[in-house]
């Protein structure tokens, strides 16, 4: 398959397989399964991949699977393509033939679409490999439990990307017309963590605060000083904000209580700031508490970091879309305040997540993801397969030197993100939470509190 044949090969493949992929998506849509219960979904994917001669392996927890295409037995996969396969625990309120048959579960984030696109991409690449036209190995990752979130951590724990050099994913975007591809270098989603500060002291009479520790006053200082301090210690461009949502202390107007608590969220658009926030908060909490003689305990629950798209990978996506759809398909994607656990992969290896337009041009009805009525223009499946397949071929070429299938990919000039990545050495580290000493616990991922809607 020569480079010039790629579009023709995709045309021929999708003419034969396009209807099957739409049927596959509708079947998943009618049978949605929430995080870690995607057993039927996993079986359906595995059966179809096996029918194409692939040998998928199910992840240790029993849902989600990985399959390699091309290369020799000993080759490390150069490139991974990831789709999330789980549904949301909400009711499907659409009136369509493929409406959810599982009460209280719905593919309202488009993961059924992502799954069908990755399946189609896998079938296309398997055909290319059989014809000797795949110059490397591609890994398909069908990841469970993105919405929980945390399925990405299971893939990492299973060694799913231990030898992978670059990874790609897409996400449905109902604000983009079908046929459009949104890319962005640098952060494309945000982080959302949960913070809890507990103060304790001896308690006492409000007549004599100097003989005890004035806990409510100290709690008030924590409430005002932490957001203020962060705004002066973290780069204002990071979009980091700490906002309190709950405060509680005391039971009588004339008694200083012996404990109090305040809870809130830290949202953040920047990876550096996200990494720095827990330690800074710990320092500030300790400083305020010691000034007023109370004992602090900080609990910082991690959710996902921001998805930070690496520049060269993002350029590969854009080059691939340009090849198979034309330059007019490309738009600049804005950064979203939603979260996506694809970020965990990008803490370890370079890659890029791009947006796939799913809106029917000129449509009156506006959809958003995570809405019970969410649906897509199914022509996006065809578009997604084209861009994913071309991206994989472009990236393999990038890893393996010249290839007749490889489009020209010019690495952009060094960007701020690149510089920061180099300083951080962010590839190779996986910051999946943990516990720090001295009264602060750091946990994650945060379950459920921050809906993952990139
Ligand atoms: Zn999603
Ligand atoms: Zn979602």
Element (H, E) at 383: helix 379-400
How far away, in angstroms, is 393 Cα from ligand 2 center? 28
Ligand with the closest atom to the CA of 82: 1
> How far, in Å, CA of 189 to CA of 192, rounded?
10
Q: Is the pLDDT of residue 130 over 80?
A: yes
How far away, in angstroms, is 252 Cα from ligand 2 center? 44
Pairing between β-strand 191-200 and β-strand 295-301 as defined by DSSP bridges: antiparallel
- Write out the DSSP string of 209-226: GGGS--HHHHHHHHHHHH
**Among candidates 267, 298, 266, 236, which has minimal Cα distance to 442?**
298
Work out the number of other CB atoms within 10 angstroms of the CB of residue 435.
8
How far away, in angstroms, is 316 Cα from ligand 1 center? 22
How far away, in angstroms, is 170 Cα from ligand 1 center? 9
Read off the pLDDT of each residue in 49-73 and give the average, rounded to a whole number. 95
Helix boundaries (H) for 33-110: 39-51
pLDDT category of residue 3 using cuts at 50, 70 and 90: low
Ligand with the closest atom to the CA of 307: 1
pLDDT category of residue 454 using cuts at 50, 70 and 90: low
Question: Could you report the per-residue pLDDT of 282-336, keeping only the tens digit for each?
Answer: 999 999 999 999 999 999 998 889 999 999 999 999 999 999 999 999 999 998 8
3-state helix, strand, coil in the chain (%, to 5): 35, 20, 40
How far away, in angstroms, is 14 Cα from ligand 2 center? 27
How far away, in angstroms, is 146 Cα from ligand 2 center? 8
How far away, in angstroms, is 442 Cα from ligand 2 center? 24
Q: What is the mean pLDDT of the chain?
A: 89
As residues whose CB is below 5 A from the ion ligand 1, the structure lists 109
**Among candidates 319, 342, 432, which has minimal Cα distance to 82?**
342
Asked if residue 356 lies in contact with residue 173, where contact means CB atoms within 8 angstroms, the answer is yes
pLDDT at position 94 is 94
User: Helix, strand, or coil here: 343?
Assistant: helix
How far away, in angstroms, is 7 Cα from ligand 1 center? 28
Ligand with the closest atom to the CA of 450: 2
> How far, in Å, CA of 430 to CA of 433, rounded?
9
Read off the pLDDT of each residue in 359-365 and give the average, rounded to a whole number. 92
CA dihedral in degrees (340, 342, 346, 349; nearest 10)?
180
> How far, in Å, CA of 310 to CA of 388, rounded?
17
Burial class (CB in 10 A: 0-12, 13-18, 19+), 47: exposed
Pairing between β-strand 181-183 and β-strand 330-332 as defined by DSSP bridges: parallel
How far away, in angstroms, is 263 Cα from ligand 2 center? 24
How far away, in angstroms, is 176 Cα from ligand 2 center? 16
Q: Is the pLDDT of residue 181 over 70?
A: yes
What region, left, alpha or beta, does residue 93 occupy, with left being phi > 0 and alpha being psi -120 to 50 degrees? alpha
CA distances in angstroms from 107 to 46, 61, 239, 261, 376, listed in the order given: 19, 21, 30, 37, 11
**Among candidates 64, 87, 40, which has minimal Cα distance to 369?**
87
How does 375-409 read in b/e, with b if 16+ C-beta sit within 10 Å? bbbbebbbbbbbbbbbbbbbbbbbbeeebebbbeb
Share of the chain above pLDDT 90, in %: 78
How far away, in angstroms, is 362 Cα from ligand 1 center? 24
How far away, in angstroms, is 151 Cα from ligand 1 center? 12
- DSSP letter at 324 equals H
Tallying the residues shown for the chain, one arrives at 454
How far away, in angstroms, is 167 Cα from ligand 1 center? 17
pLDDT at position 337 is 80
How far away, in angstroms, is 87 Cα from ligand 1 center? 9
User: Helix, strand, or coil here: 315?
Assistant: helix
Q: What backbone phi and psi angles, to 5 degrees, belong to 202?
A: -75, -25
Contacts of 397 (CB under 8 A, 6+ apart): 135, 403, 405, 406, 407
How far away, in angstroms, is 401 Cα from ligand 2 center? 36
> How far, in Å, CA of 7 to CA of 287, rounded?
62
Pairing between β-strand 79-84 and β-strand 434-435 as defined by DSSP bridges: unpaired
Ligand with the closest atom to the CA of 452: 2
Q: Is the pLDDT of residue 213 over 80?
A: yes
pLDDT at position 71 is 86
pLDDT at position 281 is 96
Question: Could you report the per-residue pLDDT of 376-394, keeping only the tens digit for each?
Answer: 999 999 999 999 999 999 9
Element (H, E) at 443: strand 440-443
How far away, in angstroms, is 399 Cα from ligand 2 center? 31
How far away, in angstroms, is 375 Cα from ligand 1 center? 13
As residues whose CB is below 5 A from the ion ligand 2, the structure lists 109, 452-453
**Among candidates 89, 80, 84, which has minimal Cα distance to 64?**
84
- DSSP letter at 34 equals B
């Amino acid at each position: 398959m020569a480079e010039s044949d790629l579009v023709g090969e995709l045309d021929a493949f999708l003419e034969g397989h396009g209807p099957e992929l739409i049927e596959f998506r509708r079947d998943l849509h009618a049978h949605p399964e929430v995080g870690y219960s995607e057993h039927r979904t996993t079986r359906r994917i595995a059966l179809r991949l096996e029918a194409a001669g692939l040998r998928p392996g199910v992840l240790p927890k029993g849902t989600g699977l990985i399959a390699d295409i091309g290369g020799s037995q000993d080759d490390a996969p150069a490139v991974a393509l990831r789709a999330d396969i789980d549904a949301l625990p909400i009711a499907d309120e659409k009136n369509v033939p493929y409406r959810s048959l599982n009460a209280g579960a719905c593919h309202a984030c488009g993961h059924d679409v992502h799954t069908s696109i990755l399946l189609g991409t896998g079938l296309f690449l398997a055909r290319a490999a059989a014809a000797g036209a795949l110059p490397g190995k591609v890994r398909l990752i069908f990841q469970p439990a993105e919405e929980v979130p945390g399925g990405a951590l299971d893939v990492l724990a299973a060694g799913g990307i231990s030898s992978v050099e670059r990874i790609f994913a897409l996400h449905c975007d109902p604000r983009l017309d079908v046929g459009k591809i949104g890319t962005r270098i640098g952060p494309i989603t945000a982080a959302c963590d949960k913070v809890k500060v507990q103060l304790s002291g001896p308690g006492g009479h409000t007549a004599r605060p100097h003989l005890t520790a004035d806990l409510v006053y100290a709690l008030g200082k924590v409430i005002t000083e932490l957001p203020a301090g962060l705004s002066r210690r973290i780069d204002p461009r990071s979009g980091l904000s700490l906002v309190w949502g709950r405060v509680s202390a005391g039971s009588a107007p004339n008694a200083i209580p012996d404990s109090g608590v305040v809870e809130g969220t830290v949202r953040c658009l920047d990876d550096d700031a996200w990494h720095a926030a827990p330690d800074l908060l710990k320092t500030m909490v300790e400083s305020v508490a010691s000034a007023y003689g109370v004992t602090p305990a900080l609990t910082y629950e991690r959710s996902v970091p921001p998805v930070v798209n690496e520049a060269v990978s993002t350029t590969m996506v854009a080059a691939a879309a340009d090849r198979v759809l034309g330059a007019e398909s490309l738009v600049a994607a804005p950064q979203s305040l939603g979260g996506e656990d694809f970020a965990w992969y990008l803490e370890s290896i370079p890659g890029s997540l791009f947006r796939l337009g799913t809106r029917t041009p000129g449509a009156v009805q506006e959809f958003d993801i995570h809405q019970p009525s969410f649906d897509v223009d199914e022509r996006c499946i065809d578009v997604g397969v084209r861009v994913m397949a071309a991206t994989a071929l472009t990236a393999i070429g990038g890893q393996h030197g010249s290839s007749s299938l490889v489009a020209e990919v010019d690495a952009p000039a060094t960007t701020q993100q690149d510089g920061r990545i180099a300083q951080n050495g962010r590839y190779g580290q996986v910051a999946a939470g943990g516990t720090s000493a001295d009264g602060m616990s750091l946990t994650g991922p945060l379950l459920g509190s921050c809906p993952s809607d990139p």
